[in-house]
Chains A and B, each alone.
Chain A
Amino acid sequence: MSTVAQQDKTRSPMSERLDLIISPIFAAALALLGLAVWLYSDVDQTTLNILEPVKIQRQIGETLILGLSSSLLVILIAVPIGILVTRKGLPRLKNFLVNTLGLAQSLPAYGLIVIFFSFMGSGILTVIFALATFSLLPVLRNTIVGLEQVDRSVIDAGRGMGFTPRQILFKIELPLSVEVIVSGIRTAIVINVGMSALAFLVGGGGLGETINSGLKLDRGPAILIGAVMVAILALLFDFLSALAQKYLKPKGL
């Protein structure tokens, strides 16, 4: 009994620490790569035009807005639905939803953006909805899995002591599943920030514009630096979510 507990104690913080270290290391490596490209390849006026600081700043801002608002939308939709379908009597709805959303995720993000474009027109909202649809599944699935892995006897004890269904949810089920749910959100944020590079297709802006200009004008360094910036942003949010995961997880688990 005690040895098992000790093993858990020593192993879990280590994997947690590793979790927090990996994204910054990758981000730093990518930043160095970008810097090296900037310094050692011949950067002509066209490349400089593409990478104009004002443009880049705007595109980073757009990427953040796209990534964050689509993720927020996902949380607002998927977590409540996940909670709803794990209540008594809705197992069929649960299976239906998971399967349908699995289908949505198996479509290419590109295709989803085009589908949404076809009935929403161009603009940032189209992208936000397309991204949200694409990344709904990991959050929904983790919410369901997280809630279902909560020890039944703990819930039984809670009910038996007079917790109301609402108290069971907020004081037992959610605290005990928050780590799994946030891990799903983390996946969604990384997907959304990364996929926001496609937003330019329907006039949604973002760093995809830089990459696209680089491709059209055949400027390798611009493509690379654009891609590196997208990746660094995604890794940054991965890191922030890992932090959130660590601090939201209740003590004692």
Chain B
Amino acid sequence: MSDVLIRLENVSKSYGAGAEPAVRKLTLEVVKGEVLVLVGPSGCGKSTTLRLINRLIEPTSGRMFIDGEDVTEANPSELRRKIGYVIQQVGLFPHRTIAENIATVPQLLGWSKDKINARIDELLELVSMDPDTYRDRYPKELSGGQAQRIGVARALAADPDILLMDEPFGAIDPITRDRLQNEFLRLQQELKKTIVFVTHDIDEAIKMGNRIAILREGSEIAQLDTPEAILAHPADEFVESFLGSGAILKGLTLKKVSDIELHQVPTLTSPVMREEALKTLQDSPDQVALLLDGNDRPLRWIDERALNRTSQPIEKSGRPVTVDLQPEDTLQDALTVMLQSSVGMACVTDRKGKYLGCTTIESLAKLIMSDG
């Protein structure tokens, strides 16, 4: 494989002679452009392994190669300037502005002022923060989620090929974490960095990783494979127990709504006459129809009972459609929406909100069955 960017060869790290080594003879290859997630129980040595790569921790034995070059003895400070580093506690410099924080590595590398300033604005835009608002603020004025965005921007500042991330979203509330994960995946699609990502959360690993290395004590690789393969064929009991129950449900985060065959329910387009609606409903196998607005956007679920119960206009009967799915959402999202929906289905729309079809529990079950 010529595409290997980072290679650890028989790397060990032990603290003191008698102690169990934190990392024992680990050989690991990271392929250019992939997100490799190191996941395992706490104390398994995954963070140590990450910190060996940028030599924040020096190995006791073994060799490390980046892009084919042996960096085991390289100048550590110079090596680190070529590798982005993001940590759970973010570690922004509190006495420096957001702009100065982002400028850290470019300044160390001696970039010109103009180039740095342009880069700062570019990166702030990239992590969805308005440059004019945030450039001159100090870290204490940021929320946890905002701070980690800046942490990521700072790590990307000098456009490193490699990014090391040590539980980057671990200290962030679940809702913001989900958003940051999604943003990060979108970013990675554009940037194609080579990323080593450490987490203890198997769900995060499945969501973020192109490949996952499940580690046990001593940073020993229990299984290294794509998320799909690990979920389908756990290598041993350790992996199985680490995946926990509900591997099928976890697998749903890997599939998109677009993987599923959409079900077409009868639709009504507002404005609609009551008689017309009743006729559509009587013909409907689902006993429910979807009311769309003039632009084909889903409005409400209408059924016969709702229609008969009130004499209100159709636009006010039935239940409103509260959440739309889009083809790129995961099937886990779809399942959540379906379970919350009054009709057990979820509407799928395109970017502009135009109705495409519905997902049903049956179609989901069919897809899971076909995977075996």
B94, A161: Cβ atoms closer than 8 Å: no
Q: Determine whether the beta carbon of B91 is less than 8 Å from that of A1.
A: no
Bound together, the chains give a CA A1 to CA B89 distance in angstroms of 16
Nearest CB of chain B from residue A180's CB, rounded to whole Å = 14
Q: Which residue of B lies closest to A249 (CB)?
A: B95
- A52: Cβ under 8 A from any B Cβ: no
Contact A162:B95 (CB < 8 A) given known A5-B141, A153-B87, A156-B56:
no
Asked whether A158 and B93 contact (CB < 8 A) given A1-B144, A5-B141, A163-B108, the answer is yes
Using CB atoms, name the residue of chain A closest to B95.
Answer: A250
Task: Give the contacting residue for B95; candidates A5, A164, A252; CB below 8 A.
Answer: A252
Report B93-120 CB contacts with A as 1/0, cut-off 8 Å: 1111100000011001000000000000
What are the residues of chain A within 8 A of B138 when measuring CB–CB? Answer: 251-252
Known contacts A156-B87, A156-B91, A161 near B81 by CB under 8 Å: yes
Number of A residues whose C-beta is below 8 Å from B?
25
Count of A-B contacts with CB under 8 A? Answer: 77
- Does residue A159 face the partner (Cβ distance < 8 Å to B)? yes
B72 within 8 A of A: no
Q: Is A154 an interface residue (CB 8 A)?
A: yes
Q: How far is the CA of A46 from the CA of B180 in the complex (A)?
A: 82
Q: Is B90 positioned at the interface, with any CB of A under 8 Å from its CB? A: yes
Query: How many angstroms between the C-alpha atoms of A159 and B89 in the bound complex?
Result: 14
How near does chain A come to B120, taking the closest CB pair, in angstroms?
15
Identify which of residues 144-186 in chain A touch chain B, using a CB-to-CB cut-off of 8 Å.
151, 153-164, 167, 172, 175-176
Within 51-105 of A, Cβ neighbours of B (below 8 Å) are at none
CB distance from B137 to the nearest CB of A (A): 9
**A158, B93: Cα distance in complex, Å:** 8
A70 to B79, CA, bound (A): 44
Residue B240 CB within 8 A of the other chain: no
Q: A5-B141, A157-B87 are in contact. Are A162 and B80 (CB under 8 A)?
A: yes
Do residues B143 and A161 form an inter-chain contact, with CB atoms below 8 A?
A: no
Cβ–Cβ contact B91 & A153, under 8 A:
yes
CB–CB A162/B91 < 8 A = no
CB of B54 within 8 Å of the partner chain: yes
User: In the docked arrangement, what's the CA distance between A157 and B91, Å?
Assistant: 6
Query: At the interface, yes or no: A253 with Cβ under 8 Å from chain B?
Result: yes
**Chain A residues in 8 Å Cβ range of B56:** 156, 159-160
Chain A: CB-nearest residue to B104? A161
Other-chain contact of B80, A8, A154, A159 (Cβ < 8 Å): A159
| Known contacts A156-B56, A252-B95, A252-B96; A161 and B80 CB within 8 A of each other | yes
Is residue B85 within 8 Å, beta carbon to beta carbon, of the partner chain? yes
Q: How far is the CA of A5 from the CA of B143 in the complex (A)?
A: 10
B250 within 8 A of A: no
The answer for the CA separation of A100 and B138 in the assembled complex, in Å, is 41
With known contacts A159-B56, A161-B108, A162-B78, A253–B85 Cβ distance under 8 A: no
Find out whether the CB atom of B94 lies under 8 angstroms from the CB atom of A253: yes
Determine how close the nearest CB of chain B comes to the CB of A34; give it in whole angstroms: 42
B108 near A162 with CB under 8 A, answer yes
* B 140-161 binary contact with A (CB < 8 Å = 1; else 0): 1101100000010011000000
Asked if B139 is an interface residue, CB under 8 A from chain A, the answer is: yes
Residues of B within 8 A of A251 (CB): 95, 138
> How far does the alpha carbon of A156 sit from the alpha carbon of B140 in the complex, in Å?
18
Report the separation of the CA atoms of residues A153 and B86 in the bound assembly, to the nearest whole angstrom. Answer: 11
Asked whether, in the complex, the Cβ of A164 is within 8 Å of the Cβ of B77, the reply is yes
Q: Are B140 and A5 in contact (CB under 8 A)?
A: yes
Asked if residues A162 and B77 are in contact (CB atoms below 8 Å), the reply is yes
A225 to B74, CA, bound (A): 67
Chain A CB within 8 A of B92 CB: yes
Partner of B87, one of A2, A8, A160, A167: A160
* Given A160-B54, A161-B108, A153 contacting B140 (CB threshold 8 A): no
Q: What string of 1s and 0s marks CB contacts (under 8 Å) between A1-23 and chain B?
A: 11001001000000000000000
Neighbouring B residues of A167 by C-beta, 8 Å: 108
A151 → B minimal CB distance (Å) = 7
Taking CB atoms, residues of chain A closer than 8 Å to B108 are 161-163, 167
With A160-B56, A161-B104, A164-B77: A154-B94 Cβ-Cβ less than 8 Å = yes
Contacts of A176 in B (CB 8 A): 94-95
The reply to whether A172 and B93 form a contact with Cβ atoms under 8 Å apart is yes
Q: Which of A2, A154, A175, A253 sits near B91, CB closer than 8 Å?
A: A154
* Residue picked from A159, A160, A175, most chain B C-beta under 10 Å: A160
A162 to B109, CA, bound (A): 10
Q: Judge whether B77 and A253 touch: CB under 8 Å.
A: no
Q: How far is the CB of B157 from chain A (nearest CB, A)?
A: 9
Contacting pair B94 A162 (CB below 8 A):
no
Asked if B105 contacts A161 (CB within 8 A), the reply is yes
The reply to whether A151 and B139 contact each other, CB–CB distance below 8 Å, is no
Chain A: CB-nearest residue to B50: A160
Can you sample 27 A-B contacts with CB below 8 Å? A1-B143, A1-B144, A5-B140, A5-B141, A153-B87, A153-B89, A153-B90, A154-B92, A154-B94, A157-B91, A157-B151, A158-B91, A158-B93, A160-B164, A161-B80, A161-B104, A161-B155, A162-B79, A162-B80, A163-B77, A167-B108, A175-B95, A250-B95, A252-B95, A252-B96, A252-B138, A253-B95
Interfacial residues, chain B to chain A (CB-CB below 8 A)? 54, 56, 77-81, 85, 87-97, 104-105, 108, 138-141, 143-144, 151, 154-155, 164
**Which are the 6 A-B pairs with shortest beta-carbon distances?**
A157-B91, A252-B138, A160-B85, A153-B89, A162-B81, A250-B95
Besides A5-B141, A159-B80, A162-B81, 4 new A-B residue pairs in contact (Cβ under 8 A), listed by A number: A151-B94, A157-B92, A160-B85, A172-B93
